[in-house]
Each structure stands twice: as C-alpha cells, then as structure tokens.
Amino acid sequence: MLRRGSRKERRAINTGLFQTIKQHVQDRSPTAVRFQMMTDRGNGFYMWDGKLFHSDIIRACIRPKAKAVGKLVGKHIRETITADGKTLTINPDAYIRFLLEEPNPFMTGQVMQEKLETQLCLNNNAFAVIVRDDRGYPMEIYPVPAAQVDAIYDAGMNLYLKFYFPNGRQATFPYTDVIHLRHDVYENDIFGESPAPALSGLMDVINTTDQGIIRAIKNSSIIQWLLKFTNSLRPEDLQKQATDFANNYLSINSASVGVAAVDSKAEAVRVEPKDYVPNAAQMDRTTKRIYSFFNTNEKIVQSAYDEDEWQAYAESEIEPDQIQLGDEYTRKLFSRRERGHGNQIYFEAANLQYASMQTKLNLVQFVDRGIMTPNEVRAVFNMAPIPGGDTAVRRLDTRPTEESGGDNS
C-alpha cells in the first residue's frame, strides 16, 4: 500500500519518471522510440506482435482522426459571473496558454494531441503526466510510453497509477496528476477495455492474406518451364540447354518474335504455379470490417469525402474525444476551487475548414450580423488575421429586438 507523500516527494517521483523517459529516448534510435511509444504492451493493452501500428490498414484508419484531433486548438476559458452579468475571458493566464501550445520541450500541443489520440485508438487508453512546480501549478505535460499500467490505492483510498516502461523501469503517480483518455469503458471502471479480443481474429486474416500474396509473388520467379529431353545428357549439357532456351525465348533482350521452336530431342512444358491468392472480394470484406471497427470508411481514409460525410464522421468520432480531452485537461489542471471560479480548458475545432467553397463564401454574411469576426472568417480560408479583425461588427440597419418597439408575440 502507498502512503500519500508530500508535494516535494511527489515531485521527486515525477522527476524520476521524466529521467526514465529521457533515458529511454537516449537508449534507442529515434525511429525505434517512436514505434515503441506508439505500441503499448501488457495488461489492458493490445499487441499485434508488438507492432500493431505497423499495419498499413490500422495506420490508415487512425491517421485521419489523429490529425483532426491534433488540429484542435486548446484554450483556457474563464467565465466570471458578476452583478452585471457574465464576463468571458480567453487565455487569462499566460502559463496555461504556453502549456497548451508547448506542453514540454520536445512537443507542440498539436504533436502531443496527435500522439495521445493515436495511443487512444490503438489501446483504448492514453496517458500523459503533469509536472507541477513547488506551488502546485502545472508546468509541463508528457505523454507516457507505458507498457503496462496498474491501478493501486494508498491507505487513504487515493488512486495512483503505476507505470511499467518498455526498458524495465517503473514509476508511480497520483491519478490527479495523470491525464487519462479512455474508450470502451465497460467492465473496468478505470481503464478502457482492450481491443485485442475484437481485433485479433481480423488481424490474423489480414496477416495470412498478406503472407499468401508475398509467397505468390516470390514463387512467380521460380521455375516456369520444364525441358524434357529424349536422350540422356550430361549435367553440364542440361544446364547449357536450359540457359540457351531462357536466353533465346524468355529474356526480354532475345530476338524471338513470340514463337519458340524446338526439335524432337526436347519438349518444352509450362509449369503453372498453384499458390493460393485471395480474391479481391474476400480482401475487401476484411478491410471493411477493420474500417467498421474504427468507425471509418474508405472515403475518410483516402480524403475523398464531401463536407456532409466529414461532418458525420466528426460528430460521431472526433467530437466525443474533443469533449473528453477538454474535460480531462480541466479537471486535472485546475482544482475544484479553480473550476468553481469558471476556469476550464476547451479544445476548439475549425470544422468549417472542411466545408465547400460555396459554404465558406456564405459565411461572409455572418460578419455583418456580428455572429463571426472578420478574423474568424479569414481563419476558415487559412488567411492571416488583420489588425482590428477580432472586433465583432454589425450592420447599421439592425438592432436588438427590444429596441424595435414592435410586438414580438
């Protein structure tokens, strides 16, 4: 059982973890580190020969969602209620804004969000540890490359997570200092269910199919013709006859016109390979089942969607993770008292960037009605902001309904 240590002791544990992470990075090449950090192993995690992310189909399914989550913009919102009404302040504290933009010296916010989403899709769990200063303020956030995670409690029933790293080291953190994202929470109240039982059969089919294709390609370069001679020949003569036949009739540099002629001393017989090659329909059904597991489709994977198709995908897949990400950041970065004073983290999506040009042009009318600022519309077109463009404007021929003097009933 763990006792609840002082803040200084907890910080010492945190420092030990990041020394472990840094040592882990130093001990391996950058490529190996990337794959190792993407592939979690052990209890609660799924491993396809330790390299699930190496599957082209799995990576294709995950990539659109991870990139979309990486494009979310984290903002610190503070809503203050006074006698005069609500006051909304965006990024009121510089240290929180910098933490969202650059969570640690090795990553931008966009990179870490992509990394967490990738781990979440692969394992149904993703973890990041918050490093705090002596006063308890969050200063850095690091994604955790854990191979296994155990949930343990101290005598006061405070929850801790014990991380086992691929290099054999261990570290323990209070759950209040761990950003934990989850999918498929069912039997376990803390961890998301492993996708292994659902994916293992499909991955076996894909692996067997790929191996069959590879064997068929390799076997296509073995013996394709057999020369049968009526007379007995010495081994060196057999080899010479086979070489001459190949050079004269099978080589692309031969002078043959597509016709081979042999005399009665030999008979040329074509050898047909009998390797199993899966048919296209079977491969297509397997691929679609993988797509269905990740709730995606071929259009999303190949970026061939229209705005309605992307909107449907975003609402079903991206927005739930967007909400979970904001909620988890909020409750782990701020105390209850701070949250009670209106502090929260919100990850904003610019879904209109996926809209058609006609839809984007229709947004112009939102500017003169005060719904969007000029710079917000310019951001949709990927244009730089302009001075004064963050001020909402409104047409002069509009005014609040209570000033119109008319009957609104």
In a domain, 105, yes or no: yes
> Of residues 193 and 225, which shows the higher confidence score?
193
Same domain, 56 and 87: yes
Which pLDDT score is estimated for 179? 96
State both tokens at 201: 């059969």
Same domain, 88 and 165: yes
Same domain, 389 and 317: no
Give 384-400 pLDDT, tens digit per residue.
Answer: 677 777 888 776 665 55
In a domain, 251, yes or no: no
- Chosen domain end from 333, 354, 375: 354
Which pLDDT score is estimated for 370? 75
Residue 49: count of CB within 10 angstroms of its CB: 10
Same domain, 328 and 361: no
297-301, 329-333, 360-364: range with lowest mean pLDDT: 360-364
Same domain, 322 and 377: no
Percent of the chain with pLDDT over 90: 30
**Per-residue pLDDT at 105 exceeds 60:** yes
196-200, 245-249, 257-261: range with lowest mean pLDDT: 257-261
Overall domain count for the chain: 2
SS3 of residue 187 by DSSP: coil
- Chosen domain end from 354, 375, 391: 354
Which pLDDT score is estimated for 298? 92
Same domain, 319 and 391: no
SS3 of residue 233 by DSSP: coil
SS3 of residue 64 by DSSP: helix
CA distance 59 to 55: 6
Same domain, 377 and 328: no
Mean pLDDT of the chain: 76
What is the Cα gyration radius of the chain?
31
- CA 34 to centroid of chain Cα atoms: 13
Mean pLDDT for 290-309 is 90
In a domain, 29, yes or no: yes
> Of residues 353 and 239, which shows the higher confidence score?
239
State both tokens at 395: 């047409």
State both tokens at 181: 């994202």
- Chosen domain end from 317, 333, 354: 354
H/E run at residue 172: strand 170-174
Same domain, 74 and 127: yes
**Per-residue pLDDT at 3 exceeds 60:** no
Confidence band for 154, pLDDT divided at 50, 70 and 90: confident
Check: pTM over 0.85? Answer yes or no.
no
Which pLDDT score is estimated for 10? 47
State both tokens at 97: 């804004």
Mean pLDDT for 138-166 is 88
CA distance 273 to 286: 25
Same domain, 373 and 340: no
**Per-residue pLDDT at 39 exceeds 50:** no
Which pLDDT score is estimated for 142? 95
In a domain, 127, yes or no: yes
**Per-residue pLDDT at 261 exceeds 80:** no
Distance, first Cα to last Cα, the chain: 66
Give 74-83 pLDDT, tens digit per residue.
Answer: 999 898 887 7
SS3 of residue 74 by DSSP: strand
Highest mean pLDDT among 188-202, 208-222, 246-260, 327-341: 327-341
Same domain, 96 and 166: yes
Same domain, 347 and 361: no
Which pLDDT score is estimated for 259? 55
In a domain, 14, yes or no: yes
In a domain, 280, yes or no: no
Confidence band for 254, pLDDT divided at 50, 70 and 90: low
- CA 402 to centroid of chain Cα atoms: 49
Confidence band for 359, pLDDT divided at 50, 70 and 90: confident
Residue span of the structural domain in which 390 resides: 355-402
Mean pLDDT for 192-198 is 82
Which pLDDT score is estimated for 53? 78
Which pLDDT score is estimated for 166? 79
Per DSSP, 193 falls in state P
In a domain, 46, yes or no: yes
In a domain, 266, yes or no: no
> Of residues 119 and 19, which shows the higher confidence score?
119
> Of residues 195 and 337, which shows the higher confidence score?
337
324-351 core/surface letters (b: 16 or more CB in 10 A; e: else): bbbebbbebbbeeeeeeebbbbbbebeb
Task: Report DSSP letters for 79-142, one per residue.
Answer: EEEETTEEEEEES-SHHHHHHHH-SBTTB-HHHHHHHHHHHHHHHSEEEEEEEE-TTS-EEEEE
Same domain, 84 and 163: yes
